[in-house]
Amino acid sequence: MGHNGVMTDPALAPRNAFVGVLIVWAVAFVASIGVGIFVAEEWRVPWLLVVFGAIVLLSFAVQLQYGRTQGFIFRVGASTIGALLLMGVISVGFGLAALVT
């Protein structure tokens, strides 16, 4: 009988896929707060676009690292759209704060 290589054991309790989505949201939150605090008002929107591009790449990386094909598009979409909405709410907050001062 031939040797077909090492068999892998199936994961009995696979990792929760939603944790990757929460990680991306947390990074988006911290990055957008950082942009709002450390970047001048006239450069906030371009830097938020750069941060969002990095968030999209991070979303793909985190979900690829998870290693499951089932629901990949849904998880990447949830990560990306959630981060976009979160960054939008934070940028509106910083915009309103700029109007008040």
* Interval 14-39: pLDDT, tens: 667 788 999 999 999 999 999 999 99
Kindly state whether residue 80 falls inside one of the protein's structural domains. yes
Contact 20, 63 (CB under 8 A): yes
Kindly state whether residue 10 falls inside one of the protein's structural domains. no
Helix runs in 5-43, H state only: 18-38
Look at residue 79 and tell me whether its pLDDT is greater than 80. yes
68 lies in which domain range? 18-100
Kindly state whether residue 52 falls inside one of the protein's structural domains. yes
Residue 93 token pair:
């907050």
Kindly state whether residue 8 falls inside one of the protein's structural domains. no
Kindly state whether residue 82 falls inside one of the protein's structural domains. yes
Kindly state whether residue 11 falls inside one of the protein's structural domains. no
Q: How many domains does the structure of the chain reveal? A: 1
Average the pLDDT over 85-91 and give the result. 96
Kindly state whether residue 3 falls inside one of the protein's structural domains. no
Q: How confident is the model at residue 1 (pLDDT cuts 50, 70, 90)?
A: low
Task: Determine the Cα–Cα distance for residues 43 and 9; give it in Å rounded to an integer.
Answer: 51
Q: How confident is the model at residue 101 (pLDDT cuts 50, 70, 90)?
A: confident
Kindly state whether residue 68 falls inside one of the protein's structural domains. yes
| Residue 77 burial (C-beta neighbours within 10 Å; 0-12, 13-18, 19+) | middle
